[in-house]
């Protein structure tokens, strides 16, 4: 169990340490070296303001936004969300300055685009420098699968049959692309335009590919952008989150109302068009980057580390074989399909609470009161509600004309390990309703 949680976390201040499948053409270390040395903003992977704040051991100041401040005042509780932070209070960093608390660019985005909310300042005083380990939800597949196997008796026979049919249909619909991706990961390059179109078709059958596709593009944009806006963020030690927000909302109609990465699967022509619209200099290289990077990430998140990328093929494999060989992929498929069941509102707390408890146990042992989204250290950071060796205080916040935040009224509220309610209408993907739990906010990943 601990090995699985280690596998799902990344410390970007240390060399890559994951055990990966054999025959990958490029290792995780190769990619880390390439991104840090070749991408214009690659230096921010290791040397960013958030990581430096964590390792300083000084008090952390975080921005949390809520849709129902009255519920927090009444209950004196802040509830956590799941998503990319598993079971932590979703926040973004605040930088203490003489003029006030300066929001990270992610927080500035949230403040500007969510006007019907109340900003809050969360102060976390740690007992020691914090381990700068981030959790990568793309690597949670094996944990999703183990959790499902533990609690599958909660499903009815009809629900089991529905799940089996849907997962099998997804595997059959995407198996040919999976094998293309594995061949690319092993170094047998295929033409990038055709690869992107195959990816787009497969993502319609397997929602997890939409998440992987989006995260690869987000990484490409944040690390390679050279706009004045991105350079200004870099001067503050931050990756530019506005880039992938614009990408998502331009790519998918209605993404503002339902943030649904299962619907993110642009074909090659549309992909180049989208990136060209954001930053023309990045358009020519995006397809080849996605081909290389997504193939590598798919292989290492889907297959068990004991497997050989060059030897395994999804086409023709039965469900039992895939479950043993590719537990990461199976876990992601099962996890997402269970969320579309009509009873998921009842099942949610069983499946998600189990993972949240394990995550907090890991964070406590690792000295992590503030885990962050570790796909990249881009500014999504949470508060661990069960960390025993730090103090937490919260205030409502006022924003001045220059954008700085100032603590206003202190609220005697406690960050609780209660999960905010989640619901998903049938076949409408990934909608988290934070308003059902006091103080929980929408985590846009996972």
Q: What is the pLDDT of residues 143-179, one digit of tens each?
A: 999 999 999 999 999 999 999 999 999 999 999 999 9
Buried b (16+ CB within 10 A) or exposed e, 349-362: eebbbbbbebbbeb
- Number of other residues whose CB lies within 10 A of the CB of residue 293: 20
Structure tokens at 85: 């932070």
pLDDT, mean of residues 257-264:
84
- Report the range of poorest mean pLDDT among 273-287, 311-325, 340-354: 340-354
C-alpha span between 30 and 144 (Å, rounded)? 28
C-alpha span between 314 and 140 (Å, rounded)? 20
Closest to 94 in 3D by CA, of 238, 225, 210, 230: 238
Which H or E run includes 159?
helix 157-185
Please work out, in degrees rounded to the nearest 5, the angle formed at the alpha carbon of residue 303 by the alpha carbons of 302 and 304: 130
Give me the pLDDT at residue 258, please: 72
Give me the pLDDT at residue 77, please: 96
Closest to 331 in 3D by CA, of 172, 87, 167, 165: 167
pLDDT, mean of residues 336-364:
92
Residue 256 has pLDDT above 80, yes or no: no
Task: Return the bridge partners of 373, or none.
Answer: 135
Residue 32 has pLDDT above 70, yes or no: yes
Give me the pLDDT at residue 424, please: 55
- Report the range of poorest mean pLDDT among 86-90, 346-350, 367-371, 426-430: 426-430
Residue pointed to by tokens 């497997």? 307
* 238 dihedral zone (left: phi>0; alpha: psi -120 to 50; beta): beta
Q: What's CA 325's distance to the chain center, in Å?
A: 24
Residue 374, phi then psi, degrees to nearest 5: -95, 15
pTM: 0.94
Give me the pLDDT at residue 414, please: 96
pLDDT tier for residue 254 given thresholds of 50, 70 and 90: confident
Closest to 80 in 3D by CA, of 414, 405, 354, 393: 414
Residue-wise pLDDT tens digits, 82-133: 889 999 999 999 999 999 999 999 999 999 999 889 999 999 999 999 999 9
pLDDT, mean of residues 1-24:
94
Give me the pLDDT at residue 420, please: 83
């Amino acid at each position: 169990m601990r090995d699985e949680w280690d596998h799902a976390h990344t410390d970007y201040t240390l060399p890559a340490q994951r055990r990966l499948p054999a025959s990958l053409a490029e290792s995780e270390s190769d990619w880390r070296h390439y991104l840090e040395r070749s991408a214009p903003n690659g230096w921010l992977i290791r040397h960013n303001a958030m990581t430096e704040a964590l390792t300083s051991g000084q008090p952390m100041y975080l921005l949390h936004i809520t849709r129902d401040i009255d519920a927090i005042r009444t209950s004196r509780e802040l509830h956590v969300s799941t998503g990319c932070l598993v079971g932590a209070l979703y926040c973004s960093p605040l930088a203490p300055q003489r003029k006030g608390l300066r929001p990270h660019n992610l927080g500035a985005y949230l403040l500007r685009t969510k006007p019907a909310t109340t900003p809050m300042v969360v102060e976390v005083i740690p007992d020691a420098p914090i381990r700068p380990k981030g959790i990568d939800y793309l690597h949670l597949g094996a944990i999703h699968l183990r959790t499902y196997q533990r609690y599958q008796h909660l499903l009815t026979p009809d629900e089991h049959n529905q799940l089996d049919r849907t997962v099998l249909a997804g595997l059959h619909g995407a198996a040919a692309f999976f094998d293309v991706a594995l061949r690319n990961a092993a170094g047998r390059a295929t033409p990038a335009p055709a690869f992107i179109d195959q990816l787009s078709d497969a993502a319609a059958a397997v929602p997890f590919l939409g998440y992987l596709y989006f995260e690869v593009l987000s990484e490409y944009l944040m690390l390679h952008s050279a706009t004045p806006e991105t350079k200004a963020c870099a001067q503050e030690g931050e990756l530019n989150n506005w880039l992938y927000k614009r990408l998502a909302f331009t790519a998918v109609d209605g993404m503002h109302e339902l943030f649904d990465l299962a619907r993110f699967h642009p074909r090659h022509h549309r992909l180049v068009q989208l990136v060209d619209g954001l930053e023309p200099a990045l358009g020519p290289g995006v397809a080849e980057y996605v081909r290389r990077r997504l193939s590598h990430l798919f292989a290492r998140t889907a297959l068990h580390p004991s497997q050989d990328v060059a030897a395994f093929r999804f086409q023709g494999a039965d469900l039992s074989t895939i479950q043993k060989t590719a537990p990461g992929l199976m876990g992601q498929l099962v996890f997402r399909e269970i969320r579309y069941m009509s009873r998921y509102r009842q099942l949610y707390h069983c499946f998600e609470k189990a993972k949240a408890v394990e995550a907090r146990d890991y964070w406590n042992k690792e000295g992590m009161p503030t885990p962050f989204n570790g796909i990249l250290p881009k500014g999504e950071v949470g508060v661990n509600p069960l960390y025993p060796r730090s103090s937490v205080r919260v205030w409502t916040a006022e924003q001045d004309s220059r954008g700085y935040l100032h603590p206003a009224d202190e609220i005697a509220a406690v960050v609780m390990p209660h999960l905010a309610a989640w619901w998903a209408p049938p076949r409408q993907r990934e909608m988290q309703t934070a308003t059902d739990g006091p103080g929980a906010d929408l985590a846009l990943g996972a």
